[in-house]
């Protein structure tokens, strides 16, 4: 139909409103139309709450119109009982005759079953509309289920001459205020934030969301030999934290100690444990050892670099990234944001 793309884009815009709140569920939006006009819409607002289809169908004033409607949804309706009943069953029960779907669901308990159920009930189903845009929207969800690991966003700030810290890891304010605000937005969008030992030790970060509305992420800290002082911010138990180490240490409230094997590579063990904890995405904020290890192993999905006009002359070198994967360059206050995607 002529307005199919328009209605699906509206559904994608609605889905984004749930960013940060639906994890580990995907972002989903839904639009209900009748004779080319929107009569209802909704989105998945938070994990455990009603799905997008439920909210959209409930928003239609005249429920009889659902029997003559066309429904646009950004992800295949679920066909299993989870936190809520199957959305495919609801669409069938309401007598919806046509459903247009952006993406098939890779989650094993859905994975085509929602579409099969709808079609078996006589619902006309179309799939793949704006599929690339839908996959980008839910790139964390797709990566988690298809690559069996969290979606990895690497982020750092570097000077004009390529340093991300002073000599001996001396902390230096490199990026501007606007970059800091954007970083807090990113923290709210990801399920976890990861740093290595030196970053936690020298920068003493809080790794929380302060300057942007949104949920607090899981803090992930690598401290192989338990060298961090108990007074450091990441150990203050103010929010859930997982500390990866080679040493045994009992867990405490909001602080889990995960003992790793020294015989195996460290980072794959960390990523596997996070996957088992249903952590779908990680914002990696340093330091250079962790960042370089992930880059060299090809274990990254996005890299976001703030490049400042500041020069240090000497210091700790930033990782080097080729230009092949550059997605875009933005101006953020006095800085330039270089955004790479590992396509």
pLDDT (tens digit per residue) in 68-77: 999 999 999 9
Same domain, 100 and 156: no
Among 143, 173, 192, the domain boundary falls at: 143
53 is catalytic: yes
For 185-194, write each residue's pLDDT tens digit.
Answer: 999 999 999 9
Specify whether 222 is located in the same domain as 137: no
In the predicted structure, residue 83 carries a pLDDT above the cut 90: no
Report, as an integer, the average pLDDT of 275-291: 95
Grade residue 313 by pLDDT with cuts at 50, 70 and 90. Answer: very high
pLDDT digits (tens, 9 = 90+) for 144-159: 999 999 999 999 999 9
**16 and 133 assigned to the same domain:** yes
What's the average model confidence in pLDDT over 201-230?
Answer: 94
pLDDT band at 1; cut points 50, 70, 90 = low
Residue 22 sits in a domain of what CATH number? 3.40.140.10
> Are residues 109 and 45 both part of a single domain?
yes
CB atoms within 10 A of CB 32: 26
Looking at the structure of the chain, the number of domains it has is 2
- 88 Cα distance to chain centroid: 25
Instruction: Write down the pLDDT at residue 251.
Output: 94
246 and 302 share a domain? yes
Please report, to the nearest 10 degrees, the dihedral formed by the alpha carbons of residues 264, 268, 269, 272 taken in order: -150
Q: Measured between alpha carbons, how far is 70 from 337 in angstroms, rounded to an integer?
A: 41
**Confidence (pLDDT) at 114:** 93
What distance, in Å, lies between the first and last C-alpha atoms of the chain? 31
Q: What mean pLDDT is predicted for residues 20-39?
A: 95
216 shares a domain with 156: yes
Average pLDDT score over residue span 225-230: 94
Closest by CA to 103, choosing from 14, 11, 37, 2, is: 11
Whether residue 113 is found in the same domain as residue 212: no
Q: What is the pLDDT of residue 169?
A: 85
CATH number at residue 231: 3.40.430.10
Query: Do 182 and 208 lie in a common domain?
Result: yes
The CA distance from 314 to 68, in Å, is 68
pLDDT band at 117 (very low <50, low <70, confident <90, very high): very high
> Are residue 131 and residue 97 in the same domain, yes or no?
yes
Catalytic residue among 41, 53, 76, 302: 53
Q: Which of 109-113, 218-222, 282-286 has the lowest mean pLDDT?
A: 109-113
Contact indicator for 48, 21 with CB cutoff of 8 Å: no
pLDDT of residue 107: 83
Q: What is the pLDDT of residue 2?
A: 66
Give the pLDDT band of residue 84 (cuts 50, 70, 90): confident
Q: Are strands 302-307 and 335-341 parallel, antiparallel or unpaired?
A: antiparallel
> 242 and 165 in one domain?
yes
Domain end call among 143, 167, 184:
143
**Same-domain check for residues 267 and 125:** no
- Rounded distance, CA 214 to CA 189, Å? 8
What SS3 class is residue 103?
Answer: strand
CB within 8 A of 259, min separation 6: which ones?
A: 245, 246, 247, 248, 249
* 168 pLDDT more than 90: no
Task: Please tell me whether residues 102 and 220 are part of one structural domain.
Answer: no
Express as a percent the part of the chain with pLDDT over 90.
88
Last residue of a domain, one of 98, 127, 143: 143
Q: State the residue range of the domain holding 158.
A: 149-341
Give the pLDDT confidence score for residue 104 in this predicted structure.
94
In this prediction, residue 343 carries a pLDDT of 80
The mean per-residue pLDDT over the stretch 212-230 comes to: 95
Q: How many CB atoms within 10 Å of residue 295?
A: 17
State the pLDDT at residue 109.
72
Question: Would the pTM count as exceeding 0.75?
Answer: yes
């Amino acid at each position: 139909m002529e307005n199919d793309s328009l209605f699906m884009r509206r559904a994608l815009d609605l889905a984004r409103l749930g960013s940060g709140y639906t994890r580990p569920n995907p972002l989903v939006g839904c639009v209900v139309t009748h004779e080319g006009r929107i009569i209802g819409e909704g989105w998945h607002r938070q994990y455990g709450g009603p799905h997008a289809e439920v909210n959209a169908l409930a928003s239609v004033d005249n429920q009889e119109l659902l029997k003559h409607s066309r429904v646009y949804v950004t992800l295949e309706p679920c066909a299993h009982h989870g936190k809520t009943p199957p959305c495919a069953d609801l669409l069938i029960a309401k007598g919806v005759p046509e459903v247009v779907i952006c993406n098939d669901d890779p989650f094993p308990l859905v994975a085509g079953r929602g579409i099969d159920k709808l079609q078996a009930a006589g619902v006309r189903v179309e799939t793949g509309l704006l599929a690339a845009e839908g996959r980008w929207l839910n790139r964390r969800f797709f990566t988690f289920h298809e690559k069996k690991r969290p979606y990895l966003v690497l982020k750092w700030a570097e000077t004009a001459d390529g340093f991300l810290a002073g000599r001996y890891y001396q902390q230096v304010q490199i990026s501007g205020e606007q970059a800091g605000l954007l970083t807090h937005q990113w923290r709210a969008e990801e399920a976890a934030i990861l740093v290595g030992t030196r970053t936690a030790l020298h920068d003493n970060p809080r790794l929380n969301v302060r300057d942007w509305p949104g949920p607090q992420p899981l803090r992930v800290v690598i401290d192989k030999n338990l060298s961090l002082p108990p007074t450091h911010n990441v150990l203050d138990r103010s929010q859930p934290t997982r500390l990866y180490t080679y040493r045994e240490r009992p867990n405490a409230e909001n602080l889990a100690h995960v003992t790793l094997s020294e015989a195996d590579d460290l980072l794959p063990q960390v990523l596997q444990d996070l996957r088992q904890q249903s952590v779908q995405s990680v914002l990696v904020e340093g330091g250079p050892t962790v960042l370089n290890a992930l880059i060299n192993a090809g274990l990254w999905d996005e890299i976001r670099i703030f490049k400042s006009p500041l020069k240090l002359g000497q210091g700790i070198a930033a990782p080097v990234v080729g230009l092949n994967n550059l997605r875009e360059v933005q101006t953020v206050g006095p800085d330039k944001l270089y955004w790479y995607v590992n396509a």
